[in-house]
Amino acid sequence: MTLFLIGLVLFLGSHLVRALAPNVRQSLAAGLGETGYKAAHAIVSLLALCLLIYGFGEARAETDILYNPPVGLRHLAMLLVLIAFIVLASGFLPTGYIARFAKHPQVLAIKIWAFAHLLANGETAQVILFAAFLAWGVILRISYKRRAARGEVVERQFRSWTWDIVAVVAGVVVYGIFAMKLHELLIGVPVM
């Protein structure tokens, strides 16, 4: 459980530096240079992710069930994850209505994904993991709103609703691939 918690704190913490301690990020970028800072951040993130994944596997073997969700919530979770894939896809495309409404589509997708998994999983390590990612997403969203109010964030400019269609198609296709095989292959748990 210790490796899991260290990996979780390092991974999410490294992604909260800009939101919670912008001066630290600026100081590191000034000292290392922008490219050096990005390289260091990528290395720390990758190592933390590996530690998180390895530790999560160990933690699942050590922890008990906190709650046993009803089967219906698993179906709702699958629908929410589909929505998360669509919102996530919209964040990588020119701005349509979905991305404009979401303002920060990747963060919204992670919040939806984490909430959906909290509905469907009651094992302690899973609850800690998904609750932490949900809290991380909420903190980032609050930070984003504050930075937007200060004029530090430029709002996404609407391009075309055509990108919404592309986001829906891409999200559904990737979700289908993930739900049918990839989730079991990568996570070890079949969705269907």
Domain-wise residue ranges, the chain: 1-62, 65-192
pLDDT of residue 160: 85
pLDDT of residue 148: 79
Burial per residue of 172-183, b for 16 or more beta-carbon CB atoms within 10 angstroms, e otherwise: eebbeebbeeeb
Task: Name the CA dihedral angle for 133, 27, 155, 79, rounded to a multiple of 10 degrees.
Answer: -10
Residue bearing the bigger pLDDT, 171 or 150: 171
> How high is the mean pLDDT of the chain?
90
Residue 27 has pLDDT above 90, yes or no: no
Residue bearing the bigger pLDDT, 66 or 114: 114
Question: CA nearest 50: which of 107, 114, 1, 6?
Answer: 6
pLDDT of residue 19: 78
Residue 149 has pLDDT above 90, yes or no: no
Backbone phi, psi, residue 161, to 5°? -70, -15
The CA distance from 28 to 181, in Å, is 41
Residue 18 has pLDDT above 80, yes or no: no
The model's pLDDT over 45-89, given as tens digits with 9 standing for 90+, comes to: 999 999 999 999 899 888 899 899 998 899 999 999 999 999 999
Residue 154 has pLDDT above 80, yes or no: no
- Lowest mean pLDDT of 96-100, 125-129, 148-152, 158-162, name the range: 148-152
The CA distance from 137 to 145, in Å, is 12
What proportion of the chain, given as a percentage, has pLDDT over 90? 56
pLDDT of residue 105: 94
pLDDT of residue 190: 82
**H/E element, 132:** helix 124-149
Give the global pTM. 0.87
**Which residues, including other chains, have CB under 8 Å from residue 132's CB and lie 6 or more apart?**
8, 12
pLDDT of residue 106: 94
